DNA sequence: GCTGTACGAGAG
DNA sequence: TCTCGTACAGCG
């Protein structure tokens, strides 16, 4: 059936009369909105999406309010048309203004993230339908009778839909149209949406889960002030069930909810779980969905018809009619940081949007980021721990293997104790996971004769050798070249040797050491798309594999009931110096990976190969002592004069000439008067050296508290004569500094 | 962001 | 002299 519903006006603000001037955000990197005139017969309100002339073309813009700018009347142009779409509501407009201000980007470009492309706003095109129009045909047949039996009243049906219901082919329906019994008409198809039902299939919660649910929905601030809760529960503690109850609560209040996930690969499983709990599919939003779904979800959220969306970080810019809850799952994930164009951490931006929308935020993680943990401990966020493991799954027993005492044999990477443990596991018919967060065969290739090291021509990172594809790959910029047979430096053949291990090399060692074991490599660069990955994960879960060699891809998702041993091939990779976040990431990753071992009745074993078994962070990991880890990290940041929330602000200067970047660095240093407050670290190579054919360099500016550093950079930009399109600001903010 | 235009280098 | 590629200003 095809109910047709008129589109109701959603924004209550008054229309601007014909002839008034309004500010319109246009998709161009301009500092302010432009002024246009409302034409006769146009229903223009604040937030209206409009088509306006800009230079030679027509663009989509958003009405920001009445304009008081003085514009040369000769230049002033009228609005071309008002788009048939719900206006962008005030809280979202305020959010756009805020993001533009904070990231020092043009507000029009931020607004573009909401109103990207006209097709987003369009309704589905009308479809041809049929309905009863006249008397039964003179020649009645059994098939025709079936069709007429199905039709009730004056309802309209699509042809294939009606044919399917009646169990006949569409030719029968065409016949009935010919006889005049049925008539065709054009109808607006409304996506047949079933609303999620908060009471569809409520789960029995453990005591710990019930407490957490109560804390989330009943203990928040009552005065409408910002409510951020950190839901911290180890893997398998049932975080999802807990935040589903918070969503149920939001639905009962008639408001909408958004779940953000760090990567698309995780959405499919969560969509299914959601449908089981709520009896309806939520909206799905990420780069991989079809244009049709995009359109439907955009409009559906704007009209309030879609109540829940599960999506990637860009879903944060959906025009929800009334969003009451934003959940950021795996809040510690670096994938929430967008590094291109308008740069932001979606987790922090979600908190800002929630403030404007008067919505609640739940940050969920088994291993929260250090800053969220500190905020929770300091009482700025509500800390909601979820202690008990679901189905009382015990924590794995962890131990370090000291590679200085029991090193692997020459040219090998698995030490005798780890090999023995894998053997034992194989004998018991259980599964082992060997984890190494390095794709490919070897992270470095060099020439034995002349010492030549293969580097990327684009960004001078080491090229990673891949044996499967016989290539040298740059994991920074994606550059790929065929594996050469002779050294390009000295011309000698057969002198190129791989240095260090990647997962492919570990797999090779596994094949020689355990020739009878069924082995699988799980690495993001060798999977044949999500389908193949899903099949492989199911094969592992089904016990068809004895040894898995994997990168961080194996850290989450899918439960492997037969997995009882996790071996970390090299824990030291992440404990090196340089990136202040490396230690944190390593702790989080190793906690997740080792947490995969074991099941309810059998605790798992985690063996961690390392050259520094006494490293305090490793010790905290082995003791399952997260408190100790967070204390260590906090202390480390203080020692480095990084307040807990210190952020890096990078000014990215794009241009043809690296000398100009140095000049900018010097300029910045000259005006940074108080080095304790603001530190210009100078130019560094951007990881993505080649973007759009232009060489990019990045200036790092380090400062405490986003605000001060921001205003410093802003002041510099204001003085700088190169403010036109050349600067991009990468902001890693402290959410507290704007709350 | 896009587009029209100005300008300098290289080809004929 | 013409063509092509890059730089740059302006858009209401």
Q: pLDDT (tens digit, 9 = 90+) per residue, A445-466? A: 989 998 899 887 655 578 899 9
Is the minimum distance from the CB of A192 to strand B below 7 Å?
A: no
In terms of pLDDT, which residue wins out, A414 or A701?
A: A414
Cβ neighbour number for residue A149 with a 10 Å cutoff: 10
Q: How far is the CA of A54 from the C1' of B4 (A)?
A: 13
Q: What value does the mean pLDDT take over residues A270-294?
A: 93
| CATH number, span A647-733 | 3.30.70.600
Could you check whether A207-391 and A393-438+501-633 share the same CATH topology?
A: yes
**Angle A163-A154-A189 from CA coordinates, rounded to 5°:** 65
Q: Is residue A181 very low, low, confident or very high in pLDDT (cuts 50, 70, 90)?
A: confident
- Which pair of structure tokens corresponds to residue A167? 């169990």
Q: Is residue A503 very low, low, confident or very high in pLDDT (cuts 50, 70, 90)?
A: very high
Q: Which residue is nearest to nucleotide C11 (CA to C1')?
A: A55
Q: pLDDT (tens digit, 9 = 90+) per residue, A365-393? A: 999 988 888 888 888 899 999 986 655 66
Q: pLDDT (tens digit, 9 = 90+) per residue, A125-177? A: 677 778 887 778 878 888 888 888 877 777 777 877 778 777 888 888 888 88
Protein chain A, residues 459-498, with a C-beta closer than 7 Å to any atom of nucleic acid strand B: none
Structurally, what CATH architecture does the domain formed by A21-119 represent? 3-Layer(aba) Sandwich (3.40)
Q: Is residue A6 very low, low, confident or very high in pLDDT (cuts 50, 70, 90)?
A: very low
Q: How far is the CA of A721 from the C1' of C12 (A)?
A: 24
Regarding the domain with residue range A393-438+501-633, which homologous superfamily does it belong to in the CATH classification? P-loop containing nucleotide triphosphate hydrolases (3.40.50.300)
Burial of A275 (0-12, 13-18, 19+ CB in 10 A): middle
Q: What value does the mean pLDDT take over residues A305-325?
A: 96
pLDDT of residue A690: 30
- The strand pairing partners of A635, in sequence order, are none
Q: How far is the CA of A106 from the C1' of C11 (A)?
A: 15
Q: What value does the mean pLDDT take over residues A665-689?
A: 43
pLDDT of residue A160: 79
pLDDT of residue A187: 74
Q: What is the rounded distance in angstroms from the CA atom of residue A618 to the CA atom of residue A587?
A: 8
Q: Is residue A344 very low, low, confident or very high in pLDDT (cuts 50, 70, 90)?
A: low
Q: What value does the mean pLDDT take over residues A79-85?
A: 95
Integer angstrom CA distances of residue A422 from A405, A430, A559: 19, 9, 20
Cβ neighbour number for residue A478 with a 10 Å cutoff: 12
Indicate if the pLDDT at residue A730 is higher than 80. no
Residue ranges of domains in chain A:
21-119, 127-187, 207-391, 393-438+501-633, 647-733
Q: What is the rounded distance in angstroms from the CA atom of residue A309 to the CA atom of residue A300?
A: 10
Q: Do residues A381 and A375 make contact, with C-beta atoms less than 8 angstroms apart?
A: yes
pLDDT of residue A696: 41
Protein chain A, residues 14-33, with a C-beta closer than 7 Å to any atom of nucleic acid strand B: 27-30
Please choose, from the candidates A653, A711, A719, the residue with its C-alpha nearest in 3D space to the C-alpha of residue A683.
Answer: A653
Q: How far is the CA of A142 from the C1' of B6 (A)?
A: 78
Residue A305: CA count within 13 A, CB half-sphere: 15
| CATH number, span A207-391 | 3.40.50.300
Q: How far is the CA of A333 from the C1' of C9 (A)?
A: 42
Q: How far is the CA of A111 from the C1' of B8 (A)?
A: 38
Q: Is residue A711 very low, low, confident or very high in pLDDT (cuts 50, 70, 90)?
A: low
Q: Do residues A425 and A431 make contact, with C-beta atoms less than 8 angstroms apart?
A: yes
pLDDT of residue A535: 84
Q: Do residues A80 and A58 make contact, with C-beta atoms less than 8 angstroms apart?
A: yes
pLDDT of residue A739: 29
Q: What value does the mean pLDDT take over residues A665-678?
A: 48
Q: Do residues A473 and A466 make contact, with C-beta atoms less than 8 angstroms apart?
A: yes
Q: Is residue A204 very low, low, confident or very high in pLDDT (cuts 50, 70, 90)?
A: very high
Helices of type H across A474-570: 503-513, 529-541
Give the best-scoring range by mean pLDDT among A164-173, A394-403, A591-600. Answer: A394-403
Q: Which nucleotides of B are covered by protein (CB under 7 A)?
A: 1-4
Q: Which nucleotides of C are covered by protein (CB under 7 A)?
A: 6-7, 9-12
pLDDT of residue A423: 97
Q: What is the rounded distance in angstroms from the CA atom of residue A686 to the CA atom of residue A667?
A: 20
Q: What is the rounded distance in angstroms from the CA atom of residue A55 to the CA atom of residue A81?
A: 16
- Report the relative pairing of strands A34-37 and A49-54 from DSSP bridges: unpaired
Is the minimum distance from the CB of A55 to strand B below 7 Å?
A: yes
Q: What value does the mean pLDDT take over residues A98-108?
A: 79
Query: CB closer than 7 A to strand C: which residues?
Result: A 28-30, 32, 34-36, 52-55, 67, 69, 71, 75-77, 656, 724
pLDDT of residue A212: 96
Q: Do residues A325 and A231 make contact, with C-beta atoms less than 8 angstroms apart?
A: no
Indicate if the pLDDT at residue A681 is higher than 50. no
Number of H helices, E strands in chain A: 19, 35
Q: What is the rounded distance in angstroms from the CA atom of residue A446 to the CA atom of residue A448?
A: 6
Q: What is the rounded distance in angstroms from the CA atom of residue A564 to the CA atom of residue A204?
A: 28
Q: Considering chain A, what is the average pLDDT of its residues?
A: 81
Q: For the CA atoms of A336, A47, A306, A327, what is the dihedral angle to 10 degrees?
A: 30
Integer angstrom CA distances of residue A318 from A92, A113, A263, A732: 9, 9, 17, 22
Q: pLDDT (tens digit, 9 = 90+) per residue, A617-663? A: 999 999 999 999 999 888 876 665 554 443 444 454 444 344 444 55
Indicate if the pLDDT at residue A321 is higher than 90. yes
């Amino acid at each position: 059936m095809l109910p047709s519903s008129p589109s109701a006006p959603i924004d209550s603000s008054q229309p601007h009369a014909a002839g008034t001037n309004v500010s319109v955000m246009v998709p161009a990197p301009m500092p302010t909105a432009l002024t246009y005139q409302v034409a006769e017969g146009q229903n223009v309100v604040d937030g209206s999406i409009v088509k306006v002339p800009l230079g030679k073309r027509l663009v989509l813009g958003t009405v920001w309010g009445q304009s008081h700018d003085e514009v040369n009347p000769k230049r002033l142009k009228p609005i071309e048309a008002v788009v048939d779409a719900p206006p962008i509501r005030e809280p979202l407009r305020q959010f756009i203004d805020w993001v533009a201000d904070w990231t020092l980007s043009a507000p029009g470009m931020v607004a573009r993230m909401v109103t990207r492309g006209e097709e987003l706003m369009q309704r589905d095109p009308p479809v041809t339908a049929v309905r009863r129009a006249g008397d039964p045909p003179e020649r009645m047949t059994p098939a025709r009778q079936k069709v007429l039996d199905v039709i009730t009243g004056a309802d309209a049906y699509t042809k294939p839909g009606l044919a399917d219901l009646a169990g006949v082919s569409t030719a029968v329906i065409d016949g009935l149209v010919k006889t005049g019994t049925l008539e065709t008409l054009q109808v607006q198809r409304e996506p047949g949406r079933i609303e999620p039902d908060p009471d569809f299939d409520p789960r029995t919660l453990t005591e710990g889960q019930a407490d957490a649910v109560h804390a989330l929905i009943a203990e928040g601030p009552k005065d409408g002030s910002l409510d951020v809760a950190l839901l911290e529960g180890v893997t398998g503690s049932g975080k999802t069930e807990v935040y589903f109850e918070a969503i149920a609560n939001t639905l009962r209040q008639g408001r909408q909810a958004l779940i953000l996930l760090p990567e698309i690969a995780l959405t499919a499983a969560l969509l299914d779980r959601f449908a089981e709990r709520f009896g309806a599919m939520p909206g799905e939003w990420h780069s991989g969905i079809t244009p049709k779904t995009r359109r439907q979800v955009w409009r559906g959220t704007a009209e309030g018809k879609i109540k829940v969306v599960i999506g990637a970080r860009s879903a944060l810019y959906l025009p929800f009619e009334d969003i009451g809850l934003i959940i950021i799952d795996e809040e510690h994930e670096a994938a929430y940081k967008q590094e291109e164009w308008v740069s932001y951490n979606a987790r922090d931006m979600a908190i800002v949007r929630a403030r404007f929308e008067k919505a609640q935020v739940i940050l969920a993680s088994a291993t929260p980021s250090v800053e969220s943990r500190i905020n929770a401990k300091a009482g700025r966020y509500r800390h909601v721990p979820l202690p008990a493991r679901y189905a009382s799954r015990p924590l794995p027993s962890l131990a370090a293997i000291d590679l200085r005492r029991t090193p692997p044999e020459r040219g090998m990477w698995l030490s005798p104790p780890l090999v023995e443990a894998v053997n034992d596991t194989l004998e018991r018919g259980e599964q082992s996971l060997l984890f190494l967060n390095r794709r490919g065969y070897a992270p470095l290739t060099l020439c034995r004769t002349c010492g030549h090291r293969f580097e990327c021509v684009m960004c001078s990172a080491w090229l990673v050798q891949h044996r499967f594809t016989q290539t040298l790959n740059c994991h920074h910029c994606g550059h790929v070249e065929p594996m050469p047979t002779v050294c390009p430096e000295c011309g000698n053949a057969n002198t190129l040797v791989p240095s260090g291990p990647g997962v492919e090399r570990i797999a090779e060692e596994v094949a020689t050491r355990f020739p009878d074991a069924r082995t699988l490599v799980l690495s993001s660069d060798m999977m044949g798309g999500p389908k193949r990955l899903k099949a492989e994960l199911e094969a592992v879960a089904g016990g068809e594999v004895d040894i898995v060699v994997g990168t961080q891809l194996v850290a989450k998702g899918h439960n492997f009931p037969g997995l009882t041993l996790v071996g970390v091939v090299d824990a030291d990779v992440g404990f090196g110096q340089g990136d202040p976040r490396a230690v944190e990431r390593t702790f989080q990753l190793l906690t997740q990976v080792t947490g995969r071992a074991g099941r309810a009745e059998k605790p798992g074993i985690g063996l961690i190969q390392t050259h520094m078994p006494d490293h305090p962070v490793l010790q905290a990991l082995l003791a399952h002592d997260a408190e100790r880890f967070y204390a260590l990290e906090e202390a480390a940041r203080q020692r480095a004069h990084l307040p807990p929330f210190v952020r890096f602000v990078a000014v990215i200067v794009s241009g043809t000439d690296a000398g100009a970047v140095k000049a900018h660095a010097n300029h910045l240093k000259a005006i940074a008067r108080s080095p304790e407050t603001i530190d210009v670290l100078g130019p560094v190579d951007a990881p993505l050296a080649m973007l759009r054919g232009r060489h990019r360099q990045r200036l790092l500016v380090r400062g405490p508290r986003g605000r001060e550093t921001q205003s410093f950079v802003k002041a510099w930009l204001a003085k700088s004569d190169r403010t036109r399109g050349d600067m991009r600001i990468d902001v890693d903010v402290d959410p507290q500094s704007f709350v």
